[in-house]
Every structure is written in structure tokens, then in C-alpha cells.
Structure 1
């Protein structure tokens, strides 16, 4: 009997598919509904390189978590305002995150906009935010201004996602100082890999000087194309360098993302059966399973 069990276990192990990261592909369970909401865990989506999928990931991860009955606040912290536009919000003539940064007495609820996605709210941004770094440079404790804003909103949400701009300036430091965790979207391309060490170094400095509780929630491989040797080699090197910090979920490259952005809806609504939508639902389940989200 013992030999039979061993043989069955071996066969089962051999039958388990291997994911793109080279590890057995797990099926993360559907998160149970929460009995109550809050306080939020704050996660910054950060990478100083542009075009790696930060905004796409913020939008679709937020929508996926909202679909699993989590109350989500997405903070557009990029002057380009791509997150706002990607959720169909026009950030003109309305309060934005810039107003909250420069006016410490303003109620943060003034800038919260309900999206068309149930359970998902947004604090929008526009080009005004580009002036914030200059205006805040002489402020006392300027690195903690966003933290003070989000502290007033955290009790009402389960997770707050901050879409950072592609730089390591004062705005990004504010986001890291306000956050409990960092999620790093990483394009499967050689030059994207080069900058990760600098970003990790910045996170370590923030941990040492400003926010000792910040954690690395993971690196998310994006724009992965299994047909190219380059994508596969870059992902292999990322796993070699960062091990279990690399999330098992991998986001593939597809034209569905820009199509969804033009429509102003998450891909989980635009093409819910598409592999990319399923990947973001899986990412949400993985982050819950890893304890990064309640």
C-alpha cells in the first residue's frame, strides 16, 4: 500500500503544471467574504521606469479585489492622470489629490469619486500634481503629507492602492512613506530589470529613515510573451535574483489592455473571459493568500 501511495503522489506531482516562473502552478482559492471593512492596508505600486504596467495593474487589481467584496480606494498619484482616465473619470474642475496635499485642512472625502465599479472609489489626479514637488519642498515633514491624508480614509476601506509616477522623487517617497507594502510591476524586458536594484535600495532607505514597517509585497512580471526567448530569460533571471518575492501570477502582453483603457473600464469588465482578466483575478487571490490584502 505504501508503495502505491508513493507512486500516486509522484504521479500527482508530475501532473502539476509548471507556471512561467518555474514553480508549480497553484490555484489560489476564492477569498471568503469579510465580516466588516477596514482598516485598509496601503500598497504602493511603484517602479521608476515608465511603461511597465503600473497603472494597468492598479486599475485591474483594484477592480478584481472589488469583485471579491473588498472595499478599495485607488489613488492616482501620477500627474498624467492615467488611472483616472482608465476608470472613466475626468479630473477637471473637481478636487484632486493635489488639493489634499497642498491644503492640509481639506477633508479628504472631498476628493473621493465613486467609480462605476461597485466597491471601488478613486482619488483622481491631473497635471496640477506635477507642481506639488516644488510646492512641498519647504514643508515640515513633507515626506509624510500623503500618509496624513490617507490616515483619515483608511478605516473605511480594506485596501488602498497608490499608482505612483515613474520616478523616485518626493511624490514617490510620500507614497512609500504612507504604505504598508510595495508591489513592483516589472516588464519582462532587460532594461526594466536593471532598475529594480535602485528601487529596492530606495525602499530600504525609506524603511530605515521614514517607515520602518514597509514590506516588499512582491514583484509582478508584466508584458510577458512566452513566445520570445528574451521574455523567458528575463523572467528566469528575476526569479533567480528575488526568489519567492516574485509573484506566481504573470501578466501576459495583449492588445486588450489599451482597448479597455480607451473604453474607460477595467479588463475584468471589458473582456472578463480573456486570459488577461483571469490573470488579474488570480493576482487578487494570490495577494489575499499571501496576506498582503485582507
Structure 2
């Protein structure tokens, strides 16, 4: 057992201890927990390293270092240790994302070395619910079929570009992004209303664990906005999520997106925390 305050890369033998930390906040940690449930702590399967911070011999904080850098249950001393490890390794991630307090501290320590960021979204309310919506669900929102991936892709690309500010087709021509879209469709976690071969509304359940799931990629085609489709569409996705996936559904949204926040509140989501994202 480690007897001092220190950090190290975790391995398969640390799985139970890491899950104990992740389960301290199953909603906020759903993204990383879902990956660990599938891949364990083997870096190749996990798509990155899991760093652990020990205090008095006990694992108390984590940091996932993959395509995203994600502090988990990280107290300030742990954040400083993770920042030093990340600084030495050099930036390999496309974003830093996580609970606001630890993520902001992590970025403040890394910014002199990794900055400037392309964008910092300092306040992203985390919203959750464990109850079906009182808004009647749109009966036309359904699971996307496997043979509809090509129909869905333009909507996914448009949503990603609108939300992140860059196209997911850059770099490898979108091969990795298309694989992820297909993965969610194949898992039954992609939902859409498709009218006459066109996606009108869509959303996915990205992260999923036995305790919580995270809704992402909510999008209404521009020509159909303002027609009241978002709330019934979200109510339908929420019904699927709570019935088939997990007892709690969550999402996080930019604070400046007042229309989306109002829609989510109408559907029944409540703000329970705050995330921060740093985009490169």
C-alpha cells in the first residue's frame, strides 16, 4: 500500500478502488465510469490512462487522460499533482472537461503551458432527473435503425459543428466520428424523428452505467426550430432512457443557451451541478 501522497498510472489491479471513487458521484462521473465498465483500466482498451492520487495510502482522486482530460473527485492538491503530470506529458487531449471547480483549477495551472484554448466554456449547468416528463412525448421519436446511419450522419455532423465550432470530418475525414455514430445506433442509444427521409429531431444516450446515463447531441433541424418539437422529442428520449438504460438521466448545457435550458427545465430536468469545458 502507498503510504504517502502521490500519483501514479492505475492498472487492472486497481479497478475496484477506482470504481469506488467513480461511484461517489455516479451522475457527474457517468462518462468515465461508462468507459471503465466496458474497458477496465487497461490503457489500450480504455483509450487513455487513468491517473490515481493517493492520500495516506488511499485512492481518493482520479484523472482520465485520453481524448479528454477529466478530473474526477479531485481535491485541489490532487488537481495540482495531475496538472504537473499533464504538463510533463504534453497536451494530447482535445478538451479538458469535468466538474467546474476542479476543471477551472486544472486549466489555470496548465494554461501557461498549453494555452491559449480555442474556447473556454466556464459554466455549463449539469441537469438531472429521475422522473418521466409531464410533457407528452413525441410518438414519432424512435430508435434509429442500423440501415439509417447514412440518413442520420448529416444531422450529427451539423449538430457537432454547431456545438463545438469545428467539423468532426476534419483530420481523418470523419471515420472515427462515423464509427461512434454507428456504435450508438447499434447499441440502441440513438433516437430521432425522421420525416420523409429527413432528420427533424435527434439525440443520443452517450454514456450509460447501471446508475446513470447522459443524453447528448440534442438537435432540431434549423428549418423546424420554434415549432415546439424539442420538448416532446426530449420527453420521448427521456422515457426510453429511464425505462431501458438507467434510473437517472443527465445532460449538461452551455449557460448561454437559454432556449435549451428552458426546454430541459420544462421536460423536468433540474440543475444539480456545473461543468466546465476547455476546448482546443
TM-score, reference length from structure 1: 0.27
Q: Which has the higher strand share?
A: 2
Larger relative contact order (Cα-Cα within 8 Å, sequence gap ≥ 6): 1
TM-score, reference length from structure 2: 0.28
Q: Which has the higher helix share?
A: 1
